[in-house]
Structure 1
Amino acid sequence: MTRRLVCSYLSLMLLVLLALEVPFGVVYGRSELSRFSNAAEQGAMTLADVCEEKLERGQAAELPELARNYNRRTGSRVIVADQNGIVRTDTDHAPATTTVGKDLSAEPDIATALHNQPAIGTRDAPASDGEALFVTVPGSSGADNSVACVVRTLHPLDSLTEKVHTTWAVLAVVGLGVLATVAVIGFALARSITRPVRALERATAQLADGRLTDPPATDRGPPELRRLTASFTRAATRLQHLLHAQQAFASEASHQLKTPLTSLRLRLENFEPHLDPSAQNSLDAALGEVERLSRMVQGLLALARLENSAITPEAIDLDAVIADRAAIWTAFAGEQHVDITVTGTKAGRVWAVPGALEQIIDNLLSNALRVSPPETAITLATLTSPTDGGRTPSVTELHVIDEGPGMSETERQRAFDRFWRAADAQHDGTGLGLPMVRQLTRAGGGEVTLRPAPGGGLDAVVHLRPTLRTRPERLGVLSEDLVAAQPHRNQHPTDGRWHFGKRKTSVRQ
């Protein structure tokens, strides 16, 4: 903003200088030429009168000396011709350029003067590379104003041109000095004007990081910026208060809600010995709803904490996380006769929030396991590829592929809405798993999408930012796309893919 203000000041001042200096320079040059022409014309007319007088007295021999004196005094070339246009004297004695004895009556200016009319103009100077001002006047006398002689003076314009150029240079220097002065003053003024704006920028950056530690001063700058600063400070204070209240709720609600839910579950379980066997199904359904409500509360609190936390991504070894989660989930998947397979490229380290990759994979595997039929497989596949034909940095993709019923296009678009579940869902999910996955992925600078899997099922793709730009190494299957990464039913564990043995362990929900 400071640069724009300074540029606007300089642009305005440049227009003013051009509007003032250019007309002044043009008028000055023309006035100097007019003054020079008038002086040369007056001198030539005086010389013509003297020459005419010398000719009338029969003193034509004195014309050369008279012309030389005028030449020494004015620095101009003098040519005197008689009434027939024959040159009687010429101050230029060079043999190649002298006109003595020549008939110049056919030249326009001489012919005009022979008709008793002066002629003034510019022409190329024969003795220099510049222009010269010629003044041709008649020397007339008698009652009929007969022309007795013609005088032509040639005045070089080098000195006049140099004087005009010097004036233009002075105007340019003065203009540059004015622009430099305006730039210094404008920079100081712009810095003064934009200081409150910079303070607002710093305060906005602090607020974006989650805490306003240095509020901007409300007593500096123009009145409009003061009012803006005061409004921003009030809004930021209120926003921080709301954020703190929400954070306090997220931290306290977990403990406050866990106790009544746990107590409700225990009371329902205590009813079991006293219930009629026909009411057992209702009790089981009630316990299931309490469990689902507990998971929903935990999911909402986790999302609230995630949205309100200032988190910084770190470099995480994706391969190690995948191997760890696959090993843990294999035991639980084996109870449902579902295999978990890891394949694809070696992913290396990616940017992610600490602990986020584990939760992302857990949620995606939990969703995939709910819909996977027995004797099928869930594939964890990694792939590193350029985002735009190799012209932009590569992206690491984590695919979680199942062989379940899949989703329609409409369902895939709504799957990341909170509390949304498919109409034909037969499980007790809370509808918060995929929203949490998206939030955790975006916190690390990535994105997650859902695609139809090759051959049926769903392919959940997590796009992550790699920390290294090394050439990926292939592990296991050397396929170039994800079709080969899709496992077949009843696949043998020794087919070249990583396959983890089953073991009893707890499963993270």
Structure 2
Amino acid sequence: MTRRLLLSHLSLMLLVLLVLEVPFGIFYARSELSRFSYAAQQGAMTLAEVCEDKMEHGLTADLPELARAYGRRTGSRVLVAGHRGIVRTDTAVRALVGRDLSAEPDISSALRDQPAVGTRSDPSTGAEVLFVTVPGGSDAAVGCVVRTVYALGPLKAKVHATWLVLAAVGLGVLAAVSLIGFALARSIARPVQALERATAQLAEGRITDPPATDHGPPELRRLAASFTRTATRLQHLLQAQQAFASEASHQLKTPLTSLRLRLENFEPHLAPCAQDSLDKALGELERLSRMVQGLLALARLENSAIRPEAVDLNAVVTDRADIWTAFADEQRVDIIVAGTEAVWVWAVPGALEQIIDNLLSNALRVSPPHTTITLATASAKEGSRTPPVAELHVLDQGPGMSEAERHRAFDRFWRAADADHDGTGLGLPMVRQLTHASGGETSLEAAPGGGLDAVVRLRCAASRTHREHPDRRNRGPG
């Protein structure tokens, strides 16, 4: 954030400097050239009047010395021609004396009493020069022509020096603005960074470094104070929920156990006709107990912030399948494990075991005798997903679900309308919660040939970076 604020500040200042300095530099260069041209033209006109007066009085012999004196004083090359364009003197090339230059554009224009001013390239040096050609005469007749030529190198050097001064001033201003902008950006970014750290700590469950409320702009101070109040309130609520999740199990188990014992004590004293009602009451009590345990497990899961760890997916699947095989044999259902390649995934400690237990429990409830439950694992192909994921499929051969039922199956307490088992409606919500806590996703799909395919997708982990994985498996069906 500091870098972006500083860059935006410097970009705006650079734009302002360019808008101010570039037009000023261009205007200065043009004005210097215009001033220099005007001064050269005025000097040439004065020299032309003097030369015309000398020629009128027959003092043409004074022209070379007059031209040299003017050239030394102004640093220019001076050429004087008569009224027919014949060169009388030239301070640079004496060989031109006596030559007719009336055909040259500037000399021809001056002979017609029209001054000529402009720039051109010097044939001998190739440098750019300024020439000023003016007529000499006090009436319509042009008595002589004076051409002065000035090298523009010194003028350009002066303009370049001015550009360097402007650039140095601009860099100095940018340096000063950078220091000021950096200080301002830091004063704004520090409270925001403190809020970011506090938000990350709040996501972990507890704020250990609350943001300061006396630094930064007034708006950020008020935001920090409001955030601190909100975070404190949320921590109190989280602590209250955690206390409920930890204490409610002890408070609820005792009356439920006592109620079960009292109902079972009625059994010897009940008439045979009431036995069925007692069995149903005990069944509902058992279902209520499982529902309470499921709700408490979900509450503990929602209130915890546990980091995922690398787990060998196939090892856990094989272990849980071995444990559930005995229960499946009682219902004459086979459990098959497909996929032998080791696949490491990220999962909350103990979550993968609970996910498989809940999915197998649901599959066993709906599987008819002499059917098969398949646990299949597969890793995504390289480059097919970013990051790569591994999939766990739990396929049964039961009645399956419609598309609408599959979408609602993860709602808490939801049960299919034709369900004839005593499920609590919390198994699949717990599966989704555990999968999300592990950074994955879960879904229900129609299995090929009928039945249901419960799919769990988890992020792959590089096994070489984890020499051993946590062994936190349950020793019985959950």
TM-score, normalised to structure 1's length? Answer: 0.88
2:180 to 175, 180, 185: 185
Q: 1:387 Cα deviation (Å)?
A: 7.2
Native 8 Å contact 2:312 2:343 kept in 1: yes
**Which residue number corresponds to residue 214 of structure 2?**
219
**Which residue number corresponds to residue 259 of structure 1?**
254
Per-residue CA deviations over 1:453-479 (Å, capped at 9, x if unaligned) read 111111111111221279xxxxxxxxx
Native 8 Å contact 1:112 1:118 kept in 2: yes
Whether 1:137 aligns to 2:134 is yes
CA distance in structure 1 between the aligned counterparts of 2:2 and 2:400, rounded to whole angstroms = 56
**Which residue number corresponds to residue 61 of structure 1?**
61
Whether 1:104 aligns to 2:85 is no
Q: 1:506 Cα deviation (Å)?
A: 8.3
Over 3 Å counting, the alpha-carbon distance change for 1:347 and 1:416 in structure 2 is farther
- Read off the aligned partner of 1:220 and give its amino acid letter: H
1:400 to 381, 394, 412: 394
- Read off the aligned partner of 1:58 and give its amino acid letter: G
Native 8 Å contact 1:387 1:395 kept in 2: no
**Which residue number corresponds to residue 435 of structure 1?**
429
**Which residue number corresponds to residue 80 of structure 1?**
80
Native 8 Å contact 1:312 1:353 kept in 2: yes
CA distance in structure 1 between the aligned counterparts of 2:424 and 2:296, rounded to whole angstroms = 13
Q: 1:507 Cα deviation (Å)?
A: 4.5
- How much identity, in percent, do the aligned residues show? 75
Q: Per the alignment, in what secondary structure is the counterpart of residue 135 of structure 2? A: strand
Q: 1:184 Cα deviation (Å)?
A: 1.4
CA distance in structure 2 between the aligned counterparts of 1:99 and 1:469, rounded to whole angstroms = 94
**Which residue number corresponds to residue 327 of structure 1?**
322
**Which residue number corresponds to residue 120 of structure 2?**
123
Q: Per the alignment, in what secondary structure is the counterpart of residue 147 of structure 1? A: coil
Q: 1:43 Cα deviation (Å)?
A: 1.8
- Read off the aligned partner of 2:277 and give its amino acid letter: S
Q: Per the alignment, in what secondary structure is the counterpart of residue 271 of structure 1? A: helix
Per-residue CA deviations over 1:243-291 (Å, capped at 9, x if unaligned) read 0000000000000000111111111111111212111111111111100
Per-residue CA deviations over 1:36-79 (Å, capped at 9, x if unaligned) read 11221122122212211221222223322322232233222211
CA distance in structure 2 between the aligned counterparts of 1:138 and 1:324, rounded to whole angstroms = 113
Q: Per the alignment, in what secondary structure is the counterpart of residue 210 of structure 2? A: coil
CA distance in structure 2 between the aligned counterparts of 1:384 and 1:291, rounded to whole angstroms = 39
Native 8 Å contact 1:332 1:507 kept in 2: no
* Residues paired across the two proteins, number: 469
CA distance in structure 1 between the aligned counterparts of 2:126 and 2:36, rounded to whole angstroms = 20
Q: Per the alignment, in what secondary structure is the counterpart of residue 336 of structure 2? A: strand
CA distance in structure 2 between the aligned counterparts of 1:136 and 1:370, rounded to whole angstroms = 112
Per-residue CA deviations over 1:167-187 (Å, capped at 9, x if unaligned) read 111101210111111111110
Q: 1:145 Cα deviation (Å)?
A: 4.5
Native 8 Å contact 2:372 2:397 kept in 1: yes
Q: 1:80 Cα deviation (Å)?
A: 1.1
Question: Which range is displaced more, 250-259 or 216-225?
Answer: 216-225
CA distance in structure 2 between the aligned counterparts of 1:192 and 1:506, rounded to whole angstroms = 56
CA distance in structure 2 between the aligned counterparts of 1:53 and 1:206, rounded to whole angstroms = 97
Over 3 Å counting, the alpha-carbon distance change for 1:506 and 1:178 in structure 2 is closer
- Read off the aligned partner of 1:287 and give its amino acid letter: L
Q: Per the alignment, in what secondary structure is the counterpart of residue 147 of structure 2? A: strand
Q: Which has the higher helix share?
A: 2
- Read off the aligned partner of 2:54 and give its amino acid letter: K
**Structure 2: which 5+ residue stretches go unaligned?**
465-473
Per-residue CA deviations over 1:101-125 (Å, capped at 9, x if unaligned) read 3333233322332232322222222
CA distance in structure 2 between the aligned counterparts of 1:457 and 1:267, rounded to whole angstroms = 41
Native 8 Å contact 1:386 1:392 kept in 2: no
Question: Which range is displaced more, 376-385 or 50-59?
Answer: 50-59
Native 8 Å contact 1:71 1:77 kept in 2: yes
**Structure 1: which 5+ residue stretches go unaligned?**
471-504
Native 8 Å contact 2:315 2:342 kept in 1: no
Per-residue CA deviations over 1:328-360 (Å, capped at 9, x if unaligned) read 100010011001111124133221111111111
Whether 1:151 aligns to 2:143 is no
Q: After the TM superposition, which residues 165-184 of structure 1 pair with which residues of structure 2 at under 5 Å, given as runs?
A: 165-184=160-179
Native 8 Å contact 1:345 1:384 kept in 2: no
Over 3 Å counting, the alpha-carbon distance change for 1:348 and 1:506 in structure 2 is closer
CA distance in structure 2 between the aligned counterparts of 1:327 and 1:227, rounded to whole angstroms = 59
- Read off the aligned partner of 2:451 and give its amino acid letter: G
- Read off the aligned partner of 2:403 and give its amino acid letter: E
CA distance in structure 1 between the aligned counterparts of 2:406 and 2:463, rounded to whole angstroms = 32
Q: Per the alignment, in what secondary structure is the counterpart of residue 142 of structure 2? A: strand
Q: 1:300 Cα deviation (Å)?
A: 0.3
**Which residue number corresponds to residue 285 of structure 2?**
290
Aligned-residue CA RMSD (Å) = 1.8
**Displaced runs of 4 or more, over 4 A:** none
Q: 1:213 Cα deviation (Å)?
A: 1.2
